[in-house]
Chain A
Amino acid sequence: MALKTAKMAEQLELFGCIQCGKCTGGCPVARKTTLNIRSLIYHMLVDSDMDVDSHQELWDCTACFTCVERCPKDVEPAELVISLRGELVESGRVPETVGTALMGIFRQGNPSGMARQDRELWAEGMEETLKRAKQAAKEGCDLLYFVGCIPSYDQRIQPVARALLRTFENVGLDVGALGTEESCCGNEVRRMGEVGLFEMLAEENGELFRGVGAHEMVTTSPHCFNTFKNEYGLDGVDVMHYTQLLAGLIERGELTFSGSVAEGEEKKIVTYHDPCFLGKQNQIYEEPRSILQAIPGVELVEMDRNRERSLCCEGGGGRMWVEGTNLEERLAFQRVEEAAETGAEILAVACPFCLLTLEDAVKVRGLDEQLQVMDIMELVDLASEADSEADSEA
């Protein structure tokens, strides 16, 4: 079935395109797959219909939005990918793994399809703290912590959420949490083209948040942060990524460090990878760096491609659930090699997806002896009071 192009081209305002090629030029997957967003836009403009099925490379897009960042004419090329994916979703022609993830979200509120009642397992050992946070949310609180699916269920990321909750407790922040009532934010759902499900999630979550009445929200993941901030229309709610909140606490002297991430006076060389949903899409470049610079024992070095030029790890936009058309060359491989070249011992990230993809790449490339991938939150935890996880494990 061929898509009639005219209506979509008009809706997405593709006529502004001057075919300069900055979108495809900057596209991190254009070099390794046949995805050419500039060419797709051109076809949308000059052909009357498009055989969307023949463009399986649409699933290669990571929704990093570099194309949107670079476009000099305010066209949003990535939105075309999302809309075309939507066509595929609507007619059920999606990779099986995407279908499974969407079904999991629909049934259990998370893409892994894990049981909803297990959503609190991340808080193992901190059950009392979580209970107080849930009570606070019930009674109405000012700051709501949105944990997110991956931090709730993935064993590698759960410590990040715990470290965050522990930090809130240490600095005496009164946070609320939703426990098992929390559902997927829908950021990746929208990017996989499932607009209907996204709208349902946004409506239900929005209602839940309004019920708590918080004026501030903080998320573990830049992905949840992005959709709450830019797509939910949460009037009167200041949505923050945790790096913004922590950078503020440090600046005001409310969060201090008694320990260090290194032995004694030594320093660990740390480089930072900008997550696309935090950096390119929301221009949050400095807060994560200011946290790292404040952590004792950290010596921050930069990769050449940093901030606006950061290279996507290839884990976003639904790519967590679909392999794409080129399995051999992974951007994450390239990225961890760039990190290793700086001489860094730690590759710091501030995103669950980046953490998982980059850590995997470090192992596959055999760099695990020299390079460790850690969330900034884990470094904060390590340099904090004696009750940090690393210390208690030690």
Chain B
Amino acid sequence: MEQEPRIGVYVCHCGVNIAATVDVEEVAEAATELPGVIIARDYTYMCSDPGQNLIKQDIREHRLNRIVVASCSPRMHEPTFRAAAQQEGVNPYQVEMANIREQCSWVHKEEEKATEKAKSLVASATAKAAQLDALEEREVEVTPAVAVIGGGIAGMTAALDVADTGLPVYLIEKQDHLGGRVGDLNRTFPRLESVSELLDPLIERIQNHPEVTLLLDSEVMQVDGYVGSFEVTVGTQKRSRSGELDERSIQVGSIVVATGYDVFDPDRKPEFGYSDYPNVITSLEMEERLAEGDLTVDGRTPERVAFIQCVGSRDTQLGNPHCSRVCCMYTAKQSRLVREMLPDSEVTVFYIDVRTFGKGSEEFYDEARSKGVRYRRGNVSEIYRKRSDPDHVVLVAEDTLLGKAIDFEADLVVLAVGMEPRDSASSISQLLKLPTSADGFFLEAHPKLRPVDTAMDGVFLAGCCQSPKGIADTVSQAKAAASSALIPLVRGFVPVESATAVVNEDLCAGCGMCVDVCPYDAPALDELWGVSRINAVLCKACGACAVTCPAKAIRLQHFTAEQVLAQVDALV
């Protein structure tokens, strides 16, 4: 039943954020003249409880059926106002927002013009509000299981947290063993715990947990579906190791991505001569040597050991602008262990900045220095070897605190190699439609408020696939990802956005152009009826299909042609 629009308009001051530039009273006053507007008000903070109560009270008193809030971007507070309206029986899709802060007061200086613009924005939103349809809210059921991709410390931690709730988990690992990169380490900072003491109990629990299905030698081939009901196709190498794969399909409600990182290849910095000199090794090779207790080079015990920081990190030339976050600390650890193993050795760390942000990290750095590790500020530019002295290499650097170019001779050099996005990140990104950030790591939905969520509902991130981090942060993030992945499972259903595209089957000719144009695979052709149908769960309401459809059979709800044209008419 079509109702006569009865619109309430609410103009927010946002303290001084809007009111200092826009004459909010004048905007509210002007709104009363707009068609369908029953009442218009201005208030200090519309999002506050008293502000919301104003709206609720007006709905009751004036029988309002449409609400326009002129305030900030809808990103933050549209849900707030929708909920307030819904409590009073107004359909949440009949609430419209005019952004007079980010799109007006914050970007303009002249009060008069800014006020005029705010009036136009309010008129436009009001015109659309008059046309808004009440949409039905829907929900779908959830498959109570989780897939975790990656069997490193992040993946194992997330998998165990999910499994411990009694829900089934599929842990998919590419290699034939668990442990990931952490398995290549010897001891951890800042407590010098042995890595096997950390990892072995985790691995054992994974292997024996009744709710964990462990899929080693396996890779994700395809992901279909949506939050609540994903279908993940997994390929597992056959025992024969012939390269052939056994394929299986698993049904899960959410997915945790914990695919880790690649180690920087030092040959991409040829000036360090990594492949030329046996005295130049990577920090991971140093881990191995420390584990074996053998630091000799060609049978000689090193007397001067040098560490070089930031190899492959903080380097825009290499396309790695990021800090790898762990190198400062593992260098403090390794340099200290070298001093302990070889008390007569001279150990020097060449650095740009020392970053010790974790708990106990600065104290650990203090200890390394107190054990006699020398820190010299200035990073190494080049390494070469003199023909007359093949046992040593020469580090070419500037000690920037002395302001002096130096040639530093060493018989063992450790390159503190950083982390890079996995080579396979782009294929995983395609499979799961996961965006990556400029540095190539997977992009979280919001760096502060939604750190483990992604742009894809039901897909969560854990560990270094999101950005470089140490073990402590990785485990924290893995536990966060597990609990986020459990949210839809515990609730049992997921709400489905109603502002999506719908097909009018009477008009649809089944040409399939909407199928081709959709980036989310939401439309599909019904072969029997020869029409397109759009999966509302997959639809992101981008509108590409609606404008492409030659028969104009697709209607983008909440953004219909009539609604948008009314908005435009009010502006021009």
A341 B387 Cβ-Cβ under 8 A: yes
Question: Do A304 and B405 form a contact, CB below 8 Å, given A25-B398, A38-B398, A72-B317?
Answer: no
Instruction: For A338, give the chain B residue with the smallest CB separation.
Output: B387
> From A307, which residue of chain B is reached at the shortest CB distance?
B270
Check if B386 sits within 8 Å of A304, measured CB to CB.
yes
Q: Is the CB of A20 within 8 A of B387?
A: no
Q: Are A72 and B388 touching (Cβ within 8 A)?
A: no
Residue A73 interfacial (CB < 8 Å)? yes
- A170 interfacial by beta-carbon distance below 8 Å: no
Contact A70 to B314, CB < 8 A, known contacts A26-B396, A308-B271, A341-B388: no
Chain B 382-412, CB-CB to A under 8 Å as 1, else 0, gives 1011111000000011111001011100000
Within the complex, what minimum Cβ distance (angstroms) separates A338 from chain B? Answer: 7
Tell me if A154 counts as interface (CB < 8 A to partner B). no
Asked if A72 contacts B314 (CB within 8 A), the reply is yes
Please, which residue of chain B has its CB at the minimum distance from the CB of A27?
A: B405
- Interface assignment of B381: CB less than 8 Å from any CB of chain A: yes
- CB under 8 Å from chain B, chain A span 2-52: 18-27, 30-31, 36, 38-39
Q: Which residues 458-514 in B have Cβ within 8 Å of A in the complex? A: none
Q: With an 8 A cutoff between CB atoms, is A330 at the interface?
A: no
Q: Quote the shortest CB–CB distance from A70 to chain B (angstroms).
A: 5
In the complex, number of A-B residue pairs with CB atoms less than 8 Å apart:
88
CA distance A40 to B394 in the complex (A): 25
- Nearest-neighbour CB distance to chain A for B276, whole angstroms, equals 8
Knowing A304-B386, A308-B271, A309-B271, say if A25 contacts B314 (CB, 8 Å). no
**CA distance in complex: A74, B352 (Å):** 16
- Would B270 and A309 count as touching, CB distance under 8 A? yes
Contacts of B400 in A (CB 8 A): 19-21, 24, 38
- Beta-carbon contact of B382 and A21 below 8 Å: no
Q: Which of A20, A30, A71 contacts B405 (CB 8 A)?
A: A30
Which chain B positions have C-beta within 8 A of A22? 379-381, 397-398
- Residues A25 and B378 in contact, CB atoms below 8 Å apart: yes
B316 touching A72, Cβ below 8 Å: yes
Q: How many residues of A contact B (CB 8 A)?
A: 30
A107 within 8 A of partner (CB):
no
Chain B residues with Cβ below 8 Å from A342 are: 387
A24 touches B405 (CB 8 A): yes
Contact A309 to B384, CB < 8 A, known contacts A20-B378, A21-B399, A25-B398: yes
Interface size class of B (residues with CB under 8 A): 20 to 34
Kindly state the separation between the CA atoms of A72 and B272 in the bound complex, as whole angstroms. 14
Chain A residue numbers with a CB within 8 Å of B378 are 20-21, 25
Query: In the assembled complex, which residues on chain A have CB atoms less than 8 Å from the CB atom of B379?
Result: 20-22, 25
**CB distance A20 to B352 under 8 Å?**
yes
Q: A25, B380: Cβ atoms under 8 Å?
A: yes
Given A31-B407, A39-B403, A72-B314, do A21 and B384 touch, yes or no (CB 8 Å)? no
Is B164 an interface position by the 8 A CB rule? no
The answer to whether A25 and B381 touch (CB under 8 A), given A30-B398, A70-B271, A307-B270, is yes
Given the known A-B contacts A26-B381, A27-B405, A308-B270, are A18 and B352 also in contact in the complex, defined by CB atoms under 8 Å? yes
Measured in the bound complex, the distance between the Cα atoms of B386 and A24 in whole Å is: 21
Complex contact A26–B387 (CB within 8 A): no
Residues in A neighbouring B367, C-beta threshold 8 A: none
Please tell me if A305 contacts chain B, counting CB pairs below 8 Å: yes
Q: Main SS of the interface on chain B?
A: mixed
Given known A-B contacts A20-B378, A304-B387, A71 and B270 have beta carbons under 8 A apart:
no
- Chain B nearest CB: distance from A81 CB in Å? 16
**Cα distance A308–B382 in the bound complex, in angstroms:** 9
Q: Are B382 and A70 in contact (CB under 8 A)?
A: yes
A4 → chain B closest CB, angstroms: 24
B471: min CB distance to chain A, Å? 26
**Interfacial chain B residues near A21, Cβ < 8 Å:** 377-379, 381, 397-400
Residues from chain B with Cβ under 8 Å of A30 in the complex: 398, 405
- B382 in complex: contacting residue of A18, A25, A39, A71, CB < 8 Å: A25
Task: Indicate whether A71 sits within 8 Å of B317 (C-beta atoms), given known contacts A20-B379, A309-B271, A342-B387.
Answer: yes
Binary CB contact string for chain B from 141 to 179 against chain A (1 if under 8 A, 0 otherwise): 000000000000000000000000000000000000000
CA distance A307 to B397 in the complex (A): 19
Enumerate chain B residues within 8 angstroms of A23, measured Cβ to Cβ.
381, 398
Interface centre among A18, A38, A74, A304 (most CB of B within 10 A): A304
A256 to B146 alpha-carbon distance, docked (Å): 66
Asked if B381 and A70 make an inter-chain contact with CB atoms under 8 angstroms apart, the answer reads yes
**B543 interface contact, C-beta 8 A:** no
A182 vs chain B, min Cβ distance (A) = 36
Interface flags for A49-71 (1: CB within 8 Å of B; 0: not) read 00000000000000000100111
Least CB separation from A31: chain B residue: B405
CA distance A125 to B388 in the complex (A): 46
Docked complex: A256-282 residues within 8 A CB-CB of B? none
Q: What's the least CB distance linking B240 to chain A, in Å?
A: 42
Flag B295-322 by CB within 8 Å of A: 1 or 0 each: 0000000000000001000111110000
Distance (Å) between the CB of A321 and the closest chain B CB? 25
Beta-carbon contact of A25 and B405 below 8 Å? yes
List residues of chain B with CB within 8 A of the CB of A39: 403
Can you show 8 pairs from A to B with CB atoms below 8 A apart?
Answer: A21-B399, A31-B407, A39-B403, A69-B271, A70-B381, A74-B316, A304-B384, A308-B270
Interfacial residues, chain B to chain A (CB-CB below 8 A): 270-271, 273, 310, 314-318, 352-353, 377-382, 384-388, 396-400, 403, 405-407
Given A22-B379, A38-B398, A309-B382, 7 more pairs with CB closer than 8 A: A19-B352, A20-B379, A25-B381, A307-B270, A338-B387, A341-B387, A342-B387
Q: Nearest 8 pairs between A and B by C-beta? A: A26-B381, A25-B381, A21-B378, A21-B398, A30-B405, A72-B315, A25-B398, A24-B398
